[in-house]
Chains A and B, each alone.
Chain A
Amino acid sequence: MTQPIATGCGALGHTGLTRPLLREIATLLKRLVEEGKTDAIDLRSLPMSEADRNELETTLGRGEIHANVMVAGDSEVWETFYPGVWWVRHFGANHQIASESILITDVPDILKSDAADIKRAAVRLDVDLIEKETGTEKTSDRENAHE
């Protein structure tokens, strides 16, 4: 028996998918302007080659905002060169990309504070200030929040 040879799929080159995808993004962005309708494109579900992905990222470029979200692993969120077009990349095990989307919106939900979280924060801040004033403050909660 001969030995199996591993060959990657990264070397496939351009598949021609980037151009129609960019057209779709342009259409969705116009719809956001005209109708206020947000949308999303799951990049992981598309049979894109590495070359396609690089072309898409280069064409859309990077805008003024780049955020790192650190909850349940790392995430990167950036506004592209075109305001209203956002790139959201969530990392999973071994820092592999677990989910990757283009969002057509003013602000991605992942960057907004959730109402339930804000409510809890208001209570917590009160408690923290009382503890600080009485010298009974604990740091464990804050440490836990960043785990």
Chain B
Amino acid sequence: MSDDATLGDMLAKRGVSRRAFLKYAAYTASIMALPATSTKVIAQALAKARRQSVIWLSFQECTGCTESLTRSFSPTLEDLIFDFISLDYHHTLQAVSGDAAENARHTAMAENKGKYIVVVDGSVPIKDDGIYSTIAGMTNLDMLNETVKDAFAVVSVGTCAAFGGIPRAKPNPTGAVAISEIIKDKPLINISGCPPIPEAITGTLSYVLSFGKIPELDHLGRPKAFFGETIHDRCYRRPFYERGMFAKSFDDEGARNGWCLYELGCKGPVAYNTCATLKWNGGTSFPIQSGHGCLGCSEPDFWDMGGFYKPLSTSLGSVGTAAAAAAAAGAIVGAGSAMLARRHQENYLKDLADKDEEI
């Protein structure tokens, strides 16, 4: 449970120095594209913060989002987030079950009224009064409404919670909807992806913890730091796209030489996410680097976008025309991304100056 000790005091009791905050702050600044000079201010804010109560609700989901966050590596820098938050309820991870588990949720809600964050993974079925998914005898819909009532903010983790995801795919037999279609009166952050990149989850929570507010979001409610650019914008294969060099099959000469996978159905040009820069499994690789096109899993209705192996141009016109148009658009998007990044840093620097005055 949360208590009144600051995170700095809490780690100090365990013999961990303030350097841990500096390291975590450097890591957070890096993954959120914040100015590298902001490290000290973020570290000071984190050290003075209280442990953040988090209630994690899992509805129509596959547990992949939780796996993404808790993937089992040795204790490291990234794992510090579990010291900074108090995960007061997560029915997949917690040891207790039944009434004891539900009591933990109610206790966390009462003790942290107005301050706790509700993280949701999975969509919510609303057809037939929501009977298609229940926990402890409650429909997902009722549990969501009850839990969110006194929350500070809601974070929809994964494409199912953010946009409905696979449960919402046609013909959507349970009437699955995104959290944003139900919750209208609370700050809400969408961290989409199937699953989402763990750094996007931890980075966003760290930002909220450091600054006491939600980060800048895009038109779909996603943090711009992670969803401000397309996969294509930052893809290392993009130079081949610009030269019109496309792999025609997954193991032809072009594929072996790292050419662009656009004609094999890659959705990178329309998928906003940070896979090409943060990558997966501790920065090891990402789907395109492994030779497969992007599925666009961080976008709404990605499951119904017409086939993973159909090039985007199939629905837009001939390959040549669409590719040429996309190349021109790419140059514009590239310039736009640079402007976006600069604006992001300018806004952030303003926040930082305010925060610095408080400290």
Contacts and interface: CB of A to CB of B under 8 A. Distances in A.
Interface of A: 1-9, 11-12, 38-42, 44-45, 47, 69, 71-73, 75, 88, 90-94, 96-101, 109-110, 113-114, 116-117, 120, 141-142, 144-147
5 contacts: A1-B250, A73-B76, A101-B36, A116-B12, A117-B18
Contacts of A5: 250-251, 255-256, 291
B289 A72 contact: no
Given A72-B80, A93-B73, A101 B291 contact: no
A147 B40 CA distance: 24
Nearest to A143: B15
Interface of B: 8, 12, 14-20, 22-24, 26-27, 29-30, 33, 35-37, 39-40, 47, 71, 73-80, 234, 236, 249-252, 255-258, 277, 281-285, 289-292, 309
A102 to B, nearest CB: 9
A114 B37 contact: no
Contacts of B236: 9, 12
A39 to B, nearest CB: 6
B249 A2 contact: yes
Contacts of B281: 94
A117 B15 CA distance: 9
Nearest to B33: A45
A7 to B, nearest CB: 4
B255 A72 contact: no
A94 B73 contact: yes
Contacts of B249: 2
A93 B290 contact: no
Contacts of A99: 23, 26-27, 29-30, 77
A7 B36 CA distance: 31
A69 B18 CA distance: 12
A115 B153 CA distance: 34
Nearest to A44: B30
A120 B18 CA distance: 11
